[in-house]
Amino acid sequence: MAIKGTRSSRKEPLLPPKGTRDIIGDEYLTYQGFAEKAAEIAIYYGFKPIETPILEHEEVFTSGLSAATDIVGKEMYSLRTKGGDRLALRPEGTAPAMRAYLSGGMQALPQPVMVYYYGPYFRHDSPQRGRYREFRQFGLEVIGSPKSIYDALIVCLSVTILGEVGIKNPCVEVNSLGCKECREGYRRELSSYYRKHVKNICVECRERLKGSPLRVLDCKNPKCVPIKERAPESIAYLCAECKKHFKEFMEYLDEMGITYRINSTLVRGLDYYSRTVFEIISADLTEEGTPALALGGGGRYDYLARHLGSRKDVPSVGTSLGVDRILLSPSHTPLHPRIIKKPEMFFIQLGFDAKLQSLRVTEVLRKAHIPIAHSLGKDSLSTQLGIAEKMGVPYCIILGQKEVIDGTVIVRAMANHSQDTVKLPKLPEYLKHLKR
């Protein structure tokens, strides 16, 4: 007897959880095409691949990003294992990359260590166009150097990757939050300015003022916008070293012909940033009346390592591109992955003995790098020929009862129906000389 609500009584098939989706067919190949192109560019610039677990100790994010950030405090999927460990589905890739650097002894390697990664990330946000609970990022991290040239390299590569997939003139916004000392001075000034206006700001900003005051600058509430516009700017509080760092960074961008604008309210939603922060916005993805969606963003995180247990700072900088959003952009040009091989032959088998031999023939063709299509489950010649015709392949390879006994196959040209009988060991050589 079926119990109400169990699978056997269910009439509708289960859907993927809200904010997640199945990626299949051509869309899957487009994701793969993007990941391959981005990885290729990263490798040319000296980055090496890294894959960290999808599940991390919750602490990697609560210590690394601070529990006060929305991504950790409100949006992180946390769970307790049967053994009592607190784990989290990774909401981002930078803290895990730094965790891997520290726990994997990468300090002993020549510095900086440059890594790239691609994979799924999870945030419990309200799903809407371009915002999912499971989404994919492609990221680059340069771990172990304070030099401004790496900040520029990271922005340059983000723009290059976007350009290679057709995103034209992405808008790069930059800002500097300064080092520990000047950021602290700025935080104090900003808090004291906002406290003077506390009666006129939204409830969320009042909360932010307590935990992470810089986040008030992220607020889009119309009530807070005029106050934000007159707020002190972080660049005005930079120390001489931070000023020099920011200036050099912009000089590199100028030299590389990258257009950018300084956005003095850009603070980003993660707490680990110091000095350079940036975001890349696409005009063509943004819908009227909604806040602009960032295709990617990043910055410097010189103090993150200490929060993850390092005894010294490990100055670092990185970027993450939101792959789902990039692929949604109207100007995105799909790239096909290298693995795609258009079938050049259709393989037809007739009778059980031929079916028995069919995988052996397929393997001979694979070893000869000849991609084929087939319909192993179909029996009749006319059905299989019909499928081959629909696919528009120039040749069919036919294996019948007689051919199995003789150790041959028939190669049939679809255009004029001419046929040749070929010994199986000679088949790769014969096919190589066919006109396709």
Site residues (vs ligand HAM, CB under 6 A): 92-94, 123, 125, 130-132, 135, 137, 139, 141, 269-270, 294-299, 301, 318-320, 322, 324-325
Query: Shortest approach of ligand HAM to residue 273 CB, angstroms?
Result: 7
Q: Which residue has the tokens 């019909």?
A: 386
Q: For residues 268 and 412, which CB has a smaller minimum distance to ligand HAM in the complex?
A: 268
Contacts of 94 (CB under 8 A, 6+ apart): 64, 139, 141, 270, 272, 298, 301, 304, 318, 320
H-helix or E-strand spanning residue 243: helix 240-255
The residue with its CB nearest to ligand HAM is 322
Query: Shortest approach of ligand HAM to residue 422 CB, angstroms?
Result: 52
Q: For residues 232 and 269, which CB has a smaller minimum distance to ligand HAM in the complex?
A: 269
Q: For residues 123 and 228, which CB has a smaller minimum distance to ligand HAM in the complex?
A: 123
Query: Shortest approach of ligand HAM to residue 66 CB, angstroms?
Result: 14
Query: Shortest approach of ligand HAM to residue 236 CB, angstroms?
Result: 24
Q: What is the DSSP secondary-structure string of 49-101?
A: E----SEEETHHHHHHT-TTSHHHHTT--EEE-TTS-EEEE-S-SHHHHHHHH
Query: Shortest approach of ligand HAM to residue 313 CB, angstroms?
Result: 15
Query: Shortest approach of ligand HAM to residue 89 CB, angstroms?
Result: 13
Contacts of 34 (CB under 8 A, 6+ apart): 138, 165, 323, 326, 327, 335
Q: For residues 186 and 273, which CB has a smaller minimum distance to ligand HAM in the complex?
A: 273
Distances (CA, A) of 35 to 45, 137, 187: 16, 9, 38
Q: For residues 315 and 322, which CB has a smaller minimum distance to ligand HAM in the complex?
A: 322
Query: Shortest approach of ligand HAM to residue 162 CB, angstroms?
Result: 11
Q: For residues 249 and 301, which CB has a smaller minimum distance to ligand HAM in the complex?
A: 301
Q: For residues 167 and 409, which CB has a smaller minimum distance to ligand HAM in the complex?
A: 167
Phi/psi at 417 (5° precision): 65, 15
Q: For residues 162 and 250, which CB has a smaller minimum distance to ligand HAM in the complex?
A: 162
Q: For residues 141 and 403, which CB has a smaller minimum distance to ligand HAM in the complex?
A: 141
Q: Is 230 exposed, middle or buried (0-12, 13-18, 19+ CB in 10 A)?
A: exposed
* 108-113 LR contacts (CB < 8 Å, sep 24+): 111/143, 111/144, 111/145, 112/142, 112/143, 112/144, 112/145, 112/150, 112/316, 113/48, 113/142, 113/143, 113/144
H-helix or E-strand spanning residue 285: none
Query: Shortest approach of ligand HAM to residue 255 CB, angstroms?
Result: 23
Query: Shortest approach of ligand HAM to residue 191 CB, angstroms?
Result: 24
Distances (CA, A) of 192 to 55, 231, 378: 39, 10, 76
Tokens of 255: 């030299």
Pair 74, 80: CB distance under 8 Å:
no
Q: Are strands 48-49 and 113-122 parallel, antiparallel or unpaired?
A: parallel
